[in-house]
Amino acid sequence: MPEIRRAQPDGALLLCGTNLRVRLAVLKPGVVLASAQGEVFDAEDARVEAELLLELDRELERAGSLTVFADLRESPQLPAASRKQIASWARRHRMRLLPSHFLVRSKLIEAGLAMLSMLIGGGMFKIHTNPRVFLALVRKAAPNLRALPAAPDL
């Protein structure tokens, strides 16, 4: 199987599948910023999603609680299988998850996140459509961040 994990020069981790790339950076203990491009279409993409959840598990264990900021503007939708897997993960860790923020462009992603929020219980996910508002929230955790990083093209 091809290697899906690639360390980035700035310390972030790039997870690469066939149709899905996720750049994951720890901003400070218990706070991560994920930037996704694409969606889960095949087994390699499902591996990326599973690896992302494992990385979130690791950070949760290190820090004790977790806030996720996710820039999903370059993802067209959240497939049902992905919603189910993420909902299962979130329910398992519900007591240690802090409210998380998602930046979206696609109405399909927004609808998928709303369904996901209903599956795990309301109030856990805040959905944003304005990049400046989202960046301002991220900068509370990482004041030196000037722009939202993207998952690089391969």
Among the listed ranges 28-37, 89-98, 116-125, 134-143, which one has the minimum average pLDDT value? Answer: 116-125
| Average pLDDT of the residues in 45-57 | 95
CA atoms of 54 and 68, how far apart (whole Å): 14
SS3 21: strand
pLDDT for res 16: 95
Can you say whether residue 31 is alpha, beta or left, with left for phi > 0 and alpha for psi between -120 and 50 degrees?
beta
CA atoms of 10 and 26, how far apart (whole Å): 11
Burial of 80 (0-12, 13-18, 19+ CB in 10 A): exposed
Instruction: Match domain 14-141 to its CATH number in 3.40.50.720, 3.40.720.10, 3.30.750.24, 3.40.50.300.
Output: 3.30.750.24
| Average pLDDT of the residues in 44-62 | 96
Domain ranges (residues) in the chain: 14-141
